[in-house]
Amino acid sequence: MAKLIAGVATSHVPAIAAALDNGKSGEPYWQPLFKGYEFSKKWIADLKPDVVILVYNDHASAFSLEIIPTFALGCAEEFPPADEGWGPRKVPVVKGNPDLAWHIAQSTILDEFDITIVNKMPVDHGLTVPLSLMCGQPKEWPFQVIPLCVNVIQYPPPTGHRCWNFGKAIRKAVESFPGDQRVVIFGTGGMSHQLQGPRAGLINSTFDKNFLDRFSADPESLTKIQHLEYVREAGSEGIELVMWLIMRGALDIDAKEIYRFYHVPASNTAVGHMILENRH
Amino acid sequence: MTEQEKYDDIPGTTLFDAAKSRAGYHLNMFCMSLMDDANRKAFKADEAKYLDRFPMSPEQREAVLKRQWNRMLELGGNIYYTSKLGATDGLSFQNLAALMTGSTQESYAKMMIEGGRPITGNRSKSEWKNRG
């Protein structure tokens, strides 16, 4: 059976894409951020996963207010980079794994997670920035990617508790898939940030560092954080952190923390990053 | 406080809930249309005429034409949509944030480099009453 071996949590700030794509990653402003991912790039290059399930949110690129799926699973052969208003990022087309994706869709729906199956979906910076941070600028992405797009823009997003349980269902789905694929799951977005209104620029490092500690050692306690607390304490866009709980729910409760990085700022955002490996 | 009152008490923050989404549908879909280069050109050529394509309220039209970024949020705009109008004007998220917070670009960027807007004093509207 396929095996879910590790998880990666990371922010997905669009300015990171702009910095990389415009050759600014060595500038003093950006250098500390990219330095923080050097370990991670080596780690994933050594690990060589076959498939990454990438939990992210679309930013009014593939979806608009016409259709707002809470959980949308990308089951296509491939996913082109989205045009977010400046032309698509010049990054490789994302290759999917329809066999495994459809299996996850079937398994999780029968487990009572009523997800949306998507066969056509451009992917924006929410998905491609984590790939760039973890893989640099290759000609082809070094693994297949199954996009799992979560609504965190229209209130209410799914609860952290729901995300956690969905992660468990994904783990069960992966590990009932006949094959020998080694699968890693990414949870992206966050950490504290607010992009809108007179409170824009909010950063709450105390909240973020506490979240990272508990994410590693006591993750289930994070499922009790209510939306109100995310919005007030981590900013209106900090609520993206519920997506991290899908990733964490898919891992062992005692998964081993391999690496952690925290940096303020990337544009308006506190960047958080953690790698965990399953023991079992 | 009710749950709604607790959200409303968070200063300087608009929750994009059902009411806002319904009120802002056409405003946001106008912004969405700016993903297309031909539409961006048509909008730039004659903004008022282009807006006729979208059944927005007069207040929403005015907010768009005058680039009143906070007002757009009050009228149902969502930042991920209004940022597309910003991009059409050549403004980044950080440029927009500076405008929405009433800062200069320099002082906003400096605030972020120094660790961002602190949470202390920014949790409740009651803490904003005595702001200068």
DSSP B81-107: HHHHHHHHTT--HHHHHHHHTT--HHH
**Percentage, residues of chain A above pLDDT 70:** 100
Answer whether B28 touches A (CB < 8 Å): yes
Report DSSP letters for A91-143, one per residue. Answer: SPPEE--HHHHHHHHHHHHHTT--PEEES---B-HHHHHHHHHHH-S-SS-SS
Average the pLDDT over A81-100 and give the result. Answer: 93
Task: Judge if the upstream peptide bond of residue A265 is cis by omega within 30 degrees of 0.
Answer: yes
Query: With an 8 Å Cβ cutoff, are A195 and B96 in contact?
Result: yes
Q: How many CB atoms lie within 10 A of CB A213?
A: 12
Tens of pLDDT, residue by residue over A118-157, are 999 999 999 999 999 999 999 999 999 999 999 999 999 9
Look at B36 and A262; give whichever has higher pLDDT.
A262
State how far the Cα of A41 lies from the Cα of A63, in Å rounded to an integer: 30
Distances (CA, A) of A209 to A55, A190, A260: 21, 12, 10
* The residue to which tokens 């007002």 are assigned: B71
CB A271 within 8 A of CB A11: yes
pTM of the predicted structure, to 2 decimals: 0.97
From chain B, the residues in CB contact with A196 under 8 A are 13-14, 73, 78-79, 97, 100
Q: Could you tell me which of A257, A251, A273 has the C-alpha nearest to residue A5?
A: A251
Which residue type does B18 have? A
Q: Classify the complex by whether its ipTM is higher than 0.90, answering yes or no.
A: yes
- Contact (CB<8Å) B119/A267: no
Which residue, A108, A177, A113, is CA-closest to A144? A177
Predicted local distance difference test score (pLDDT) of residue B132: 54
Distance from CA of B10 to the nearest CA of A (A): 6
- Give how far A7 is from chain B: nearest CA, Å: 28
Q: How confident is the model at residue A83 (pLDDT cuts 50, 70, 90)?
A: confident
Report the pLDDT value the prediction gives residue A84, as an integer from 0 to 100. 84
With tokens 């409740």, the residue in question is B124
| Segment A249-277 mean pLDDT | 98
A86 Cβ contact list (under 8 Å, min separation 6): B87
Contact A14, A86 (CB under 8 A): no
Answer positive or negative: Cα dihedral of B119, B125, B126, B132.
Answer: positive
Residue of B nearest to A195 (CA): B97
Q: Is B25 on the interface with A (CB under 8 A)?
A: yes
Give me the mean pLDDT over the A196-223 stretch. Answer: 98
- Residue B100 in contact with partner chain A when CB distance is under 8 A: yes
Interface test with A, best of B4, B5, B6, B10 (most A CBs within 10 A): B10
Q: Does residue B22 surpass a pLDDT of 90?
A: yes
Residues on chain B touching A201 (C-beta within 8 angstroms): 97, 101, 108, 111-112, 116-117
Q: Measured between alpha carbons, how far is residue B131 from residues B10, B78, B96, B117, B128 in Å? A: 15, 26, 22, 14, 5
Of residues B7, B28, B101, nearest to A198 (C-beta): B101
Average pLDDT score over residue span B19-37: 96
Beta bridge partners of B112: none
- Answer whether A106's CB lies under 8 Å from A143's CB: no
How many Cβ atoms are within 10 Å of A242's Cβ, its own excluded?
29
pLDDT score of B24 more than 80:
yes
Tokens of A52: 């990454």
Out of A87-91, A231-235, B56-60, B116-120, least confident range: A87-91
Q: Do A60 and B100 touch (CB under 8 A)?
A: no
Q: Is the pLDDT of residue B35 over 80?
A: yes
Is A28 touching B (CB cutoff 8 A)? Answer: no
Q: Calculate helix-pair angle for B25-33, B58-65, nearest 10 degrees.
A: 40
Lookup result for tokens 């990337």 = A266
Dihedral (CA of B124, B128, B129, B130) sign: positive
For residue B129, pLDDT over 90 is answered with no
Average pLDDT of the residues in A101-117: 98
Q: Does B81 sit within 8 Å of A60, measured CB to CB?
A: yes
Is the CB of A86 inside 8 Å of chain B's CB atoms? yes
- CATH class of the domain at A3-277: alpha beta
Q: B23 in contact with A at a CB cutoff of 8 Å?
A: no
B10–A153 CB contact, under 8 Å: no
Residues in B touching A232 (Cβ below 8 Å): 6, 10, 123
Q: What is the mean pLDDT of residues B51-76?
A: 98
Best CATH choice for the domain B3-129 from the list 3.30.300.30, 3.40.50.970, 1.10.10.10, 1.10.700.10: 1.10.700.10
Look up residue A180 and give its two tokens.
């020998």
Write out the catalytic residue numbers of A.
125, 193
Task: Show me where the domains of chain A are located.
Answer: 3-277
Q: Is the pLDDT of residue A190 over 70?
A: yes
Task: Using a CB–CB cutoff of 8 Å, tell me whether B16 touches chain A.
Answer: yes
User: Is A45 in contact with B9 (CB distance < 8 Å)?
Assistant: no
- Strands (DSSP E) along chain A, which ranges? 3-10, 51-56, 71-74, 78-79, 94-95, 116-118, 144-150, 182-188, 256-266, 269-277
Q: What is the pLDDT of residue A86?
A: 76
Residue corresponding to tokens 């996963």? A49
- pLDDT tops 70 at residue A66: yes
- Strand, helix or coil at B72? helix
Q: Contact A214/A222 with Cβ under 8 angstroms?
A: yes
